[in-house]
Structure 1
Amino acid sequence: MNDKQKQRSREDIPEALRDSPVPPTPTSSSLNPKWMIIGLAGVIMIVLGTLGIMRLVSSLSQTNTVSVEPTPSPSPTPEPETIENILGHLPYEEADPSQLKAITNDGRIKLRKKAADSFLQMQGDARASGIILTAISGFRTVQQQEYLFFEIKRQRNQDTRKRAEVSAPPRYSEHHTGYAIDIGDGKLPATNLSENFEQTPAFRWLENNAAKYSFELSFPRNNIQGISYEPWHWRYVGDTDSLKTFYEAQQLQNRPSSEENTVN
């Protein structure tokens, strides 16, 4: 379009409209606030809905997961306690002399006080029944046991294992405890420290009555320690200490016993 045509076109526009400004293009500032709020709320709802769906999916995933607990490993089987012993004899500590009480008039034979009182009561009751219970040996020191084990072994030409069947090595004798006593029949002294003692009235009385005074036979036939049968050897088990001292022997394995007899 040339200049003349432009001039003619302008002249065709009414004068009232010719100089009117062009209406401005609407901007974002002119948007309705109501619609802005609605739009923002929609966005928030979409975000919240998305988060809710994600949580639901996560919860379902955890619910459907099977929890497998690890299988506990088996506990190791404890090893059986090993009891120190020498050829079936258990170790014993030597009683304190202050814990001992004489049971003979000469004071030579002693036991722990409770054992001594119980034996004297038993001896008196037996005498009332016409039975004479004679105390042959009670508490022994380690030194005394050394003589009985090693010197008698030498005199009898015994090997160590055979000697241990009939006598305890030093530090392994029940007599060290002050609870053990060798008993004889006062009317039949020839049976003292012999298996023949079981044929005496004194032994039969002990079998029937010794338990009343808390005495028991230490080495019956076929005892679990494998010690020779000793019908004369008794021990006091009337308190906790004596029970603990002697019943550890129950944990030993059975061993064959010998029928040879002498002082243990």
Structure 2
Amino acid sequence: MDNLIRIPETQATHADGDDLEEALVPLEHLRHFREDALPDDIPEAFREVVHPRPRPWRQQRWVLFLSLFSLGVLAFGFGVGLNLVPQRLNPTGAAASSARPANATGGNNEQPGAASPAADTLLGHLAYAEAPADSLKAITEDGSLKLRAAAADKFLAMQADARAAGVELVPLSAYRSLQDQEHLFFDVKAARGQNPTERAEVSAPPGHSEHHTGYAIDIGDGAQPDTNLQFSFADTAAFQWLQENAAYYSFELSFPKDNPQGVAYEPWHWRFVGDRDSLETFYKAHQLRQAAATNPQ
């Protein structure tokens, strides 16, 4: 028995062809067995080989493509939506501005002396309403010249300070009614043989004069009356004093050189812009005129 070895049944066969669970084999017969058939080894035919399953790359590519395409569609739709929302809220800037009330102070009531909401112009002059009679205050001893109360007080203070500085500011014209303006425009035009365009360069048509508002005043130099309502007034001490000091009393030159209205230079014509109503009266009129020129009907 020392020269025998037991082998598994898978490596031994009975002489009759029946498989045995184990058999005794002489040692010398071991040379007939392969080295890899020893009991410690697993026959190659019985090894379980795991082959990796191929990944479905084509299917993954389709999924990736569809995902990217969907994201692109969503991004495009979002961008279009952002562009459309402002247009829905405000289709045109002009429409939005036209929806706003002309009176920025609220409500539909116009302030006395305010410009026409349509900002209509005639021969380069803006439209203005007449000041109420009870809002006027005299600035001369005889009461012939009047301004709105706030403007009158400031002018009288300015006149007194100028007098203290040796300059005599003389009021030549202040508030004018429509009737007064009709005379100045039509009667003087006829007397001078002027056409409407020529007359409008130095005098506004009725309903379009700043003097209607009770805030405008024509000023002369008491020391040089010959310069009254003349371009030469710009060379007087009164004009120089006004240029340096009028703003302290809330007066400004209405028609400087090269003014946008195209009205002739009038160094004697000044207007008060020292309270809310006066400021809105003149500056709203100019803004409406500019808007009408930019967006003609």
TM-score (ref. length: structure 1): 0.68
Aligned pair partner of 1:76 in 63, 70, 92 = 92
In the alignment, which residue of structure 2 is the partner of 1:125? 161
Check conservation: 2:178, 2:207, Cα contact below 8 A: yes
Instruction: Say if 2:184 is the partner of 1:168.
Output: no
Let me know the Cα RMSD of the aligned residues: 2.3
Instruction: Say if 2:132 is the partner of 1:96.
Output: yes
Aligned length: 193
The one-letter amino acid of 2:273's match is V
In the alignment, which residue of structure 1 is the partner of 2:144? 108
Runs of 4+ in 1 over 4 A off after TM superposition: 64-67, 79-82
The one-letter amino acid of 1:244's match is E
TM-score (ref. length: structure 2): 0.61
Instruction: Say if 2:171 is the partner of 1:135.
Output: yes
The C-alpha deviation readout for 1:32-85, integer Å capped at 9, x for no partner, is xxxxxxxxxxxxxxxxxxxxxxxxxxxxx9xx7855355417422417876311
Unpaired runs of 5+ residues, structure 2, are 1-66, 99-117, 291-297
In the alignment, which residue of structure 1 is the partner of 2:262? 226
Unpaired runs of 5+ residues, structure 1, are 1-60, 254-264
In the alignment, which residue of structure 2 is the partner of 1:148? 184
Residue 165 of structure 1, CA deviation: 1.2
Q: 1:233 to 1:216 in 2, by over 3 A?
A: same
Structure-1 separation of matches of 2:152 and 2:225: 22
Structure-2 separation of matches of 1:150 and 1:194: 20
Identity %: 57
Residue 250 of structure 1, CA deviation: 3.5
The C-alpha deviation readout for 1:94-124, integer Å capped at 9, x for no partner, is 1111100000010100000000000000000
Partner SS, residue 78 of structure 1 = helix
The one-letter amino acid of 1:154's match is A
Residue 88 of structure 1, CA deviation: 1.5
Structure-1 separation of matches of 2:286 and 2:216: 17
Partner SS, residue 184 of structure 1 = strand
Residue 249 of structure 1, CA deviation: 4.5
Structure-2 separation of matches of 1:158 and 1:87: 14
Check conservation: 1:225, 1:249, Cα contact below 8 A: no
